[in-house]
């Protein structure tokens, strides 16, 4: 009989013997694969259009109304036997469900009953697996479907469960990738009371409230795709606030970090996210928020306010690494200063240079660009009413400007490059950078076309106009386009990010780096709240079977000596048992947190 599945495989067979085959979980998403670009783009467009017309949150509010005398929150101040909790452990993981190695490395740490974590100063801190598990957004990549959730999220976490601990109660915040199927799969898995070997689900809507011990609350929002806070959600949180006592404090979980993302999107005219979060924080919650938790950006970054409040990005649950050396994220924002980031900004800047290997990291994108360069070259040859391209380059260019087909492809190249260009610096910059990028490809395609024809002629391959010569020219043009066009894209991304602070997402999604993962472990007791930021510098690439049925199905193979153990990114952040901030913050208030 089958006992547990791991990455789609069987952990222990009928005879009780451990199988030796390796996990066949999915690899990291290759975002520059042509099929991924098309599928994700189409689903994102359709979900945005449909989401505006039929908001799933409104439907859920109508079909799942609150029952009379039902509390709007989940009470975690007591355990399953209704005994008061004096201590509660909670894990926060965001941006997961990507490649097996990265997702499973985080899952095994989260689902372990205990972790001994060493901080940068060499001190060891003993932690326990959370009784509550919070997914902070983007629970699957690249787009949501029930099968993708099972393959990339549910399967790894079920396989990672150490049966020496109890399964946690799971609460999930939806991110934009969860919305790409209209939130259908998310609701089915997380909002209908379904259970798995890894967790128990309890929420009924895509947003929730949890009452924690010692005057703490955790709220999870759903901002849909348009950073929109719907009225039903506002009324829900207003009702939750009515249950809060004076001095109680809030941990607010949002799928996007408005303090970082709004700096990028505001230049392009997007203020919705920032406005909605300010409305929720100031007018609904009344300045009770002491900790802001978010993912979306796949790294760890903590900003601290002078009043002790914390804004933490912890989007390292499994998705590709996002850079930490963007200047917009480092500047002081509304009194919050950057205290720590993971990986360090210098390391992040160096990793950007890996885009020099863009053609080899994204071979299918190279195939697409090689075919496109071939089409451009073919158009040049057609415009000269010849099957070869051996005239002077000036004549080639002159004839190309008169040819409808070549003009169409050239215009398509420029439009695509301008559309691809980062909009954070405004429309003028987008036209300049995109136009320059597209023109470089057109010029390169023309030069390569000329060079291929000249080389074939000099080598004496075939006769002028022969099929043999044409095929040789096409093969040379395709091969050179396969290598050079992606290399130019890599150079464009390196200069855009490291010089101008643009294309952060594209420059690192192209690399699909599985390392530098992170999650948060929180402890709440009578002395306050302690945040343990857990990091994994390099995730294992090799796995072996667990020793027995109580272990995770797969454990790191000791032969993989480059893999690193979970560690603390910085010393624990300790928030004392002080009262929540008043609506108007005065001078001389006692800090809520002791920070390094």
Tally Cβ neighbours within 10 Å of residue 428: 8
Round to whole Å and give the CA distance between 235 and 65. Answer: 12
Confidence of residue 382 (pLDDT cuts 50, 70, 90): low
Paired strand residues for 481: none
Question: What is the distance, to the nearest Å, from the Cα of residue 7 to the centroid of all Cα atoms in its chain?
Answer: 21
Residue 269: predicted pLDDT: 42
Q: What is the pTM of this model?
A: 0.88
Strand order in the sheet with 289-294: 74-75, 208-212, 216-220, 249-254, 289-294, 310-314, 300-305, 336-342
pLDDT score for 14: 37
- Range with the lowest mean pLDDT among 286-290, 307-311, 471-475? 286-290
**If one looks up domain 23-321+513-594 in CATH, what number appears?**
3.60.21.10
Higher model confidence: residue 258 or residue 206?
206
Q: Are strands 336-342 and 300-305 parallel, antiparallel or unpaired?
A: antiparallel
Contact (Cβ atoms closer than 8 angstroms) between residue 184 and residue 216: no
- Report whether 439 contacts 397 (CB < 8 A): no
* Confidence label for 587 from pLDDT (cuts 50, 70 and 90): very low
- With a cut of 80, say whether residue 461 has pLDDT above it: no
Residue 143 has pLDDT above 90, yes or no: no
Angle 498-297-27 from CA coordinates, rounded to 5°: 95
Q: Name the token pair of 95.
A: 């941006």
Q: Long-range contacts made by residues 237-245, C-beta under 8 angstroms, separation at least 24?
A: 237/207, 237/209, 237/280, 237/284, 237/285, 238/284, 239/72, 240/72, 240/73, 240/209, 241/284, 241/285, 241/286, 241/288, 243/71, 243/72, 243/73, 243/211, 244/217, 244/288, 245/215
Q: Which helix (H) or strand (E) holds 396?
A: helix 393-402
For residue 225, name the pLDDT band (cuts at 50, 70, 90).
confident
In tens, the pLDDT along 359-370 reads 999 999 999 999
At 516-547, the pLDDT tens digits run: 999 999 999 999 999 999 999 999 999 999 88
pLDDT score of 4? 43
Residue 329's pLDDT band (cuts 50, 70, 90): low
Q: Give dist(CA 333, CA 258) in Å, integer.
A: 11
Task: Specify the 3-state DSSP secondary structure of 575.
Answer: strand
Q: What per-residue string of b and e applies to 287-309 under the rule 16 or more CB within 10 Å gives b? A: bbbbbbbbbbbbbbbbbbbebbb
- The pLDDT assigned to 134 comes to 98
Q: How many CB atoms lie within 10 A of CB 13?
A: 12
Mean pLDDT of 112-136: 96
How far is residue 175 from each of residues 94, 170, 181, 225, 260, measured CA to CA in Å?
9, 16, 12, 8, 16
Tell me the C-alpha distance between 28 and 318, whole Å. 9
Tokens of 348: 């992040």
Question: Rounded to an integer, what distance in angstroms lies between the CA atom of residue 341 and that of residue 405?
Answer: 50
User: Judging by DSSP bridges, how do beta strands 289-294 and 200-201 pair with one another?
Assistant: unpaired
Compute the average pLDDT of residues 394-411.
Answer: 67
Q: Given CA atoms 468, 470, 473, 479 in this order, what sign does their dihedral have? A: negative
Q: How far apart are CA 545 and CA 483, in angstroms?
A: 40
Residues 512, 366: Cα–Cα separation, whole Å = 16
- Which one is predicted more confidently, 220 or 423? 220
Residue listed under structure tokens 């130019």? 488
Nearest CA to 75 out of 240, 225, 188, 301 is that of 240
Out of 38-42, 353-357, 399-403, least confident range: 399-403
Give the Cα separation of 57 and 469 in Å (integer): 62
pLDDT band at residue 327 under the 50/70/90 scheme: confident
How many residues are listed for the chain in this entry? 596
Reported confidence tier of residue 584, pLDDT bands at 50, 70, 90: very low
How much is the mean pLDDT over the chain? 83
DSSP labels for 246-276?
TT-EEEEEESS-HHHHHHHHTTTT--HHHHH
Residue extents of the structural domains in the chain: 23-321+513-594, 354-503
Identify the pLDDT of residue 377.
79
Residues 12-37 pLDDT 10s: 443 344 444 577 789 999 999 999 88
Q: How confident is the model at residue 254 (pLDDT cuts 50, 70, 90)?
A: very high
């Amino acid at each position: 009989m089958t006992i547990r599945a791991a990455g789609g495989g069987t952990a222990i067979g009928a005879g009780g013997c451990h199988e030796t085959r390796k996990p066949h979980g999915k690899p990291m998403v290759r975002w520059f694969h042509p099929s991924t670009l098309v599928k994700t783009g189409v689903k994102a467009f359709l979900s945005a259009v449909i989401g505006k017309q039929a908001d799933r949150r409104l439907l859920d509010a109508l079909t799942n109304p609150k029952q009379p005398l039902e509390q709007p929150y989940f009470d975690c101040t007591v355990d399953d036997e209704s005994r008061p909790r004096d201590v509660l452990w909670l894990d926060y993981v965001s941006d997961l469900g990507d490649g097996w190695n990265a997702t499973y490395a985080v899952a095994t740490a989260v689902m372990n009953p205990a972790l001994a974590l060493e901080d940068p100063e060499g001190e060891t801190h003993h932690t326990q697996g959370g009784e509550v598990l919070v997914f902070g957004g983007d629970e699957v990549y690249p787009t949501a479907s029930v099968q993708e959730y099972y393959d990339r999220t549910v399967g790894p976490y079920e396989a990672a469960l150490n049966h020496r601990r109890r399964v946690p109660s799971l609460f999930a915040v939806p991110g934009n990738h969860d919305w790409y199927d209209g939130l259908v799969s998310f609701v089915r898995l997380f909002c209908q009371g379904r259970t798995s070997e890894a967790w128990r689900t309890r929420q009924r809507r895509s947003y929730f409230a949890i009452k924690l011990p010692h005057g703490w609350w955790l709220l999870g929002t759903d901002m849909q795709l348009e950073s929109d806070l719907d009225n039903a959600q506002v009324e829900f949180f207003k009702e939750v606030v009515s249950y809060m006592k004076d001095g109680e404090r809030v941990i607010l979980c949002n799928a996007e970090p408005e303090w970082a993302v709004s700096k990028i999107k505001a230049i392009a005219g997007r203020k919705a996210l920032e406005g909605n979060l300010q409305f929720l924080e100031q007018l609904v919650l009344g300045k009770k928020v002491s900790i802001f938790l978010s993912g979306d950006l796949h790294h760890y970054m903590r900003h601290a306010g002078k009043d002790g409040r914390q804004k933490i990005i912890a989007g390292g649950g499994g998705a590709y690494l996002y850079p930490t050396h963007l200047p917009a994220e480092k500047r002081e924002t509304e009194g919050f200063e950057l205290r720590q980031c993971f990986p360090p900004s210098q390391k992040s800047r160096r990793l950007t240079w890996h885009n020099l290997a863009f053609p080899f990291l994204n071979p299918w994108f190279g195939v697409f660009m090689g075919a496109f360069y071939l089409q451009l070259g073919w158009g040049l040859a057609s415009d000269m009413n010849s099957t070869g391209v051996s005239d002077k380059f000036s004549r080639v260019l002159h004839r190309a400007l008169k040819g409808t087909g070549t003009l169409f492809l050239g215009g398509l190249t420029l439009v695509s490059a301008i559309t691809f260009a980062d909009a954070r610096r405004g429309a003028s910059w987008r036209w300049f950078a995109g136009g320059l990028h597209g023109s470089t490809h057109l010029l390169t395609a023309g030069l390569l076309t000329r060079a291929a024809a000249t080389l074939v002629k000099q080598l004496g391959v075939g006769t002028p106009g022969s099929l043999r010569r044409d095929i040789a020219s096409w093969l040379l043009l395709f091969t050179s386009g396969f290598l050079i066009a992606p290399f130019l894209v890599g150079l464009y991304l390196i200069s855009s990010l490291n010089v101008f602070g643009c294309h952060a997402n594209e420059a690192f999604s192209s690399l699909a780096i599985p390392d530098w993962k992170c999650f948060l472990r929180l402890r709440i007791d009578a002395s306050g709240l302690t945040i343990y930021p857990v990091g994994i510098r390099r995730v294992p690439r090799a796995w072996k079977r667990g020793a027995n049925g109580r272990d995770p199905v797969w454990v790191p193979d000791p032969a993989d000596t480059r893999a690193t153990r979970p560690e603390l990114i910085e010393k624990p952040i300790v928030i004392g048992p002080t009262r929540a901030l008043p609506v108007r913050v005065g001078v001389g208030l006692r800090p809520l947190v002791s920070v390094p």
